[in-house]
Amino acid sequence: METPESREDTIWHELQNAYRTRKVLTGILGGIEKMVGGGTIAVIYYKEVRVVIPLAEMMINLVEDEARDYGELALRQSKLLGNMLGCEIDFIIKGLENASRSVVASRKDAMYKKRQIFYMPDAAGNSRVCEDRIVQARVIAVAEKVVRVEIFGAECSTLARDLSWDWLGDASERFHVDEQILVRILSVKVRSLEDISVKADVKSVNGNTSKDSLSKCRIQGKYAGAVTDVHKGTVFVRLHIGVNAVAHNCYDNRMPGKKDDVSFVVTRIDAERNVAVGLISRIIKQNI
């Protein structure tokens, strides 16, 4: 039988070998901690062993944008790191301390190693990740209107409109951290190993069923749906029959809000935009 001590010894031996060979390992981002000196560290758990990665080695690259007040970059990095909790992280061990069995690692080194394999051109001038190719991506963070994915060592953020043909009120209802999804590469710019930008979308991988679903709609038909967004008096609704719908009027004396269940009456079919146009006759259930 394997005792806890012998299991720990086996894992530690594996980590020592990985350190010597610079092997890429994968663990779960289990925590974020503030150091006494003020720095931030990410805590990864690899087979129950605690691995520490400093924030600078997590490779959370956010672009400074003077046009928008995003706040201090370090705070934005910490916020994104918080959204990444529970996701898989690739890392390369930078240092081991046998007495305390502590491990310090770098996600950045692992990302660069993967980039070398998948993005840098081979002898024939071809790279594995290229425009229009469908590849597997790892979801590392999810917000209401955006999903951040890692594609073989490069990260990109995909807006809600590029995630699905269906209108999404909240991306977290359909996507979750640590999920593996297929994406289509829209563009790849490789300026150097350190400077790679990727754009990808999800919805083009799946067939557009909007036109087929729209045929289920009838003018003056009444359908149930959920409000996905409200913008300047226009209400965007996802009908339960699988149709995107736009309402400019609401006959209920209450104002519809996001995630409310509503009754929608179709007054016109916009075949060009694949949407049903109409009005909200009443709010079935408010999301309070």
**Mean pLDDT of the 244-254 span:** 89
Please determine, for residue 6, whether its predicted confidence score (pLDDT) is greater than 60. Answer: yes
- Nearest Cα to 247, choosing from 173, 167, 135? 167
3-state secondary structure 199-219: EEECCCCCCCCHHHHHCCCCC
**Mean pLDDT of the 78-104 span:** 88
Model confidence over 169-218: pLDDT tens digits?
Answer: 778 888 888 889 999 999 999 888 888 999 998 888 876 666 777 888 88
The domain 127-201 is placed in CATH, from the list 3.40.50.720, 2.40.50.40, 3.90.870.40, 2.40.50.140, at 2.40.50.140
The architecture that CATH gives domain 210-285 is Beta Barrel (2.40)
- Check residue 73 and give its pLDDT: 65
pLDDT confidence of 168, banded at 50, 70, 90? confident
The alpha carbon torsion through 9, 13, 15, 21 (nearest 10 deg) reads 180
Mean pLDDT of the chain: 86
> pLDDT > 90: what percent of the chain?
36
Q: Is 273 helix (H, G, I), strand (E, B) or coil?
A: coil
Higher pLDDT, 126 or 26: 26
Q: The whole model's pTM is what?
A: 0.76
Burial of 217 (0-12, 13-18, 19+ CB in 10 A): buried
Please determine, for residue 40, whether its predicted confidence score (pLDDT) is greater than 80. Answer: yes
Query: Domain limits of the chain?
Result: 4-114, 127-201, 210-285
CA–CA dist 25, 47 (Å, integer): 11
The architecture that CATH gives domain 4-114 is Beta Barrel (2.40)
Phi and psi angles of residue 18, each rounded to the nearest 5 degrees, phi first: -65, -35
CA–CA dist 251, 185 (Å, integer): 44
